[in-house]
Structure 1
Amino acid sequence: MRWLRIMLLSMTTAMAAHGSVTKTAFGIAPDGTAVELYTLKSEGMEASITTFGARVVSIKTPDRDGKIADVVLGYSALDGYVADKSTYFGAIVGRYGNRIAFGKFSLDGHQYQIPTNNGANSLHGGTVGFDRMVWQARAIADGVEMTLVSKDGDQGYPGTLTVHVRYTVHHGALRIDYSSSTDKGTVINLTNHSYFNLSGDAKNTILDEVVMIPADQYTPVDSGQIPTGALASVEGTPFDFRKPTVIGTRIHDDNEQLRIGGGYDHNWVLRGKNGEVKTAGRVYDPVSGRVLTVTTTEPGVQFYTGNSLNGTQYGKAQESHSKNTGLCLETQHFPDSPNHPAFPSTELKPGEVRHSTTTFTFSTHAK
């Protein structure tokens, strides 16, 4: 009987190690498509993902005292996401996340023009990016797989692109696996645009949170926030986060790059080879004790401090989403890579499958 008790205990432990996945209705998109919400539960966390933009709606994790709170900005209902066309809260952005100069790039001897929606430049895929689309979803072990087919010519991009994004939860971590293929040469740069506030209260700013980014270089930008092509050293600049640094310490420094971004809104060049798992950043909130560690196979990360949040959007508890109330760590290829041959390539060819993984792991730190 002892072996039976051991076996039953092992089975119980194994079952407890796996999370649960539930699906509920989340409203109707403007085109009449039903939108769903998938809630993923695992020990130490709960994440909700909607098919509208394949976006993260909430991530609930405990603080050092065990109090559960939501640590991402967003809305409690679909209407908020439909009306908000500027923040990209929680969304998968694409076909090309971040900026492309003047909405132009050349590929295989052809020049392509995509919509400009950020001054003279294209941002996050154009006027109707992946964040505005309803993805197809299916429950998988510990998570959900979102699928989107972007037809040839969508927003001016070449090739019919098929994208699969898998969200899974396990042991306090939310993992995102991206997989993309095309029938014609194209460019692609997918990322998740979640805004984190580890205090668990979106009325607080993130300026007192402590950030570490293990990068020796970043890509400075021109006045339109397009990379100049240089890889600049972070040494002696406000962009040096190689040691844990309070965000607010240098965000208001007299620095041209900070003035251009209105704060931090830049791409850091991560150490290690493209395709290898590496740390992209770590965030610590001293009050709650929450820690977020981001790892990725991507070559860069865009650290953004919510500089454009202006208090006109209201969140899940009707809190005002004001400037600096959320931060993003968008793992990615570099902005405007199609126009910078020296940057890691974002070209995807027929017969290839582009894979990428990013993991957001939550923990706590004692006082």
Structure 2
Amino acid sequence: MNNKILIIIFLFTSIIAKVQMNLNKEIKLIEKTAFEKTVDGKKVALYTLKNTSGTVCQITNYGGKVVSLWVKDKSGVYEDIVLGHSNIDDFLTTKEKYFGALIGRYGNRIGQGKFSLDGKEYTLATNNGQNHLHGGNKGYDAVVWDAKQVDSNTLELGYVSKHMEEGYPGNLTIKVKYRLTDKNELKIEYWASTDQSTIVNLTHHSFFNLKGAGNGTINDHLLQINAAYFTPVDEGLIPTGELLEVENTSMDFQKLTSIGEHVNEAYEQLQYGLGYDHNFVLNQTKDGLNFAAKVVEPISGRIMEVYTNEPGLQFYGGNFLDGSVTGKYHKKYDYRTAFCLETQHFPDSPNKPQFPTTRLDPKEEYYSICVYKFSIME
């Protein structure tokens, strides 16, 4: 075989290798038509955000849900790292309704579905055992938001939550801005104002797996949470009102630790949550953005960092996923195959005066920010 033939074979195999690599990198965007539907008299749509790093995020105005988030690994291969569905009908009927959603009026739990404000008691839905969870029977995860795509990086959502909607006082006017920055950050900002004193605790509920959605356990992910304390809970996952040190307990993620290292230990708090489903008290060293958490997936090399101005972070380890939901790409979402890191005020704060307040009065502006920043191991 002469040199010319060898060169031709080499060039041919190189081209084939490049084609295969590009196929591996292909981002399979969900079709916009799969989200074209009218719900409660309002039009649902799907919006696509892109940045210069090649990251792509798709968001629907139904519940403000992040539907897909494509992030590359250390080899340049993209995976969709959030759980969810590829069409609006599945989102409307799914067992797990919080995939990728905006949560409110109050994220997390309120004990017994009751709180008092200025001497008046308000009663909310008890949709989580005896307690209220994530805004009630129809929280902000299940409403159609007004949407405006500002540019290729930015989506603005708006919603007016009426007085006594799901039992909450006051007309609450909300704006949420999703921005996919060229620093490879998914930045979520919230603003809200009210015409009557109320309580507000907004958050975001993406289920992440840095290997790719539906690609196995998250117990081998490494997690760091910038918190020396957490808020212990009772059997109904309502905080007792105490702050306990994480050091020398199964809750200690002050240094990078595999999520599964202690999850099955005979520790009462883990037994109550069937694993991790707890609020951590973040170390806030300054006003504005503070480092909250870091997750490293060693095989793909993907890294996610979380920054926020909120005092708390709910870490949930996918304990209630059971394989009964089939999501995008026909993948089943099995036990502990996703995690959530929800920036927030503490659960049950309206009934715990020692916790940071979630009260919002007229002429005040609520502002919250959460940043998920993505990078690759060096």
> What is the TM-score when the length of structure 1 is the normalising length?
0.92
> Does the alignment pair 1:43 with 2:16?
no
* 1:260 CA drift (Å): 0.6
Contact 1:101 1:121 in 2 (8 A): yes
Match of 1:139 among 149, 160, 169: 149
Give, in whole Å, the separation in 1 of the partners of 2:236 and 2:365: 32
How many residue pairs match? The answer is: 345
Partners of 1:201 and 1:154 lie apart in 2 by 34
Equivalent residue, structure 2, for 1:116: 126
2:332 maps to what in 1? 320
Contact 1:87–1:309 at 8 Å: present in 2 too? no
Could you list the per-position Cα deviations for residues 28-60 of structure 1 after superposition, in whole angstroms to 9, with x for gaps in the alignment? 244343211110000221111100001111110
| Mapping 1:333-348, distance limit 5 Å | 333-348=345-360
- Residue 96 of structure 2 corresponds to 86
Task: Tell me the equivalent position of 1:8.
Answer: none
Counterpart in the other structure of 1:160? 171
- Which position in structure 1 is the counterpart of 2:7? none
AA partner of residue 236 (structure 1)? N
**Counterpart pick for 2:257 among 245, 251, 255:** 245
Structure 2 counterpart of 1:140, which letter?
Answer: V
Distance across 2 between alignment mates of 1:240 and 1:276: 25
Contact 2:109 2:348 in 1 (8 A): yes
Q: Pick from 62, 67, 73 the counterpart of residue 72 of structure 2.
A: 62
1:148-171 CA deviation, whole Å, 9 max, x = no partner? 100001001000001100000112
Write the letter of the residue equivalent to 1:35: V
Using the aligned pairs only, state the percent identity: 47
SS in 1 for 2:149: strand
Matched residue SS, 1:258: helix
Matched with 1:180 is 192
- Secondary structure of 2:279's match? strand
Q: What is the alpha-carbon distance in structure 1 between the residues aligned to residue 57 and residue 306 of structure 2?
A: 16
Q: Which amino acid aligns with 1:311?
A: G
Tell me the alpha carbon deviations over residues 162-193 of structure 1, each in whole angstroms, 9 at most, x when there is no partner: 11000001121110010000000000100000
Residues 200-220 of structure 1: CA deviation (Å, up to 9, x unaligned): 141311010000001000000
Matched residues in 1 for 2:267 and 2:229: separation?
16
Work out whether 1:104 is the aligned partner of 2:104.
no
* Amino acid corresponding to residue 346 of structure 1 in structure 2: T
Q: TM-score, normalised by structure 2?
A: 0.89
SS in 2 for 1:317: helix
Alpha-carbon distance, 1:271 to partner: 0.6
Structure 1 match to 2:15: none
AA aligned to 1:148 is Y
Q: Equivalent residue for 1:3?
A: none
Q: Give the Cα–Cα distance (whole angstroms) in 2 for the partners of residues 85 and 279 of structure 1.
A: 33
- State the alpha-carbon separation in 1 of the partners of residues 137 and 95 from structure 2: 9
Please tell me whether residue 148 in structure 1 is matched to residue 165 in structure 2: no
Which of 337-346 and 84-93 deviates more?
Answer: 84-93
- Higher radius of gyration, 1 or 2: 2
Moved over 3 A (4+): none
| C-alpha contact (below 8 Å) 1:275/1:299 kept by paired residues | no
Asked whether the 8 Å contact 1:273–1:299 carries over to 2, the reply is: no
CA contact (8 A) 2:209 2:215 kept: no
**Is it true that 1:292 corresponds to 2:267 in the alignment?**
no
Match status 1:193 vs 2:205: yes
* Structure 1 unmatched runs, 5+: 1-22
Letter in 2 for 1:150: S
Specify the alignment match of 1:230 in structure 2: 242
Using a 3 Å threshold, how does the CA distance of structure 1 residues 214 and 252 change in structure 2: closer, same or farther? same
Indicate conservation of the 8 Å contact 2:51/2:180, yes or no: yes
Task: Name the CA distance, whole Å, in 2 between partners of 1:274 and 1:260.
Answer: 33
Indicate the residue corresponding to 1:268 in structure 2: 280
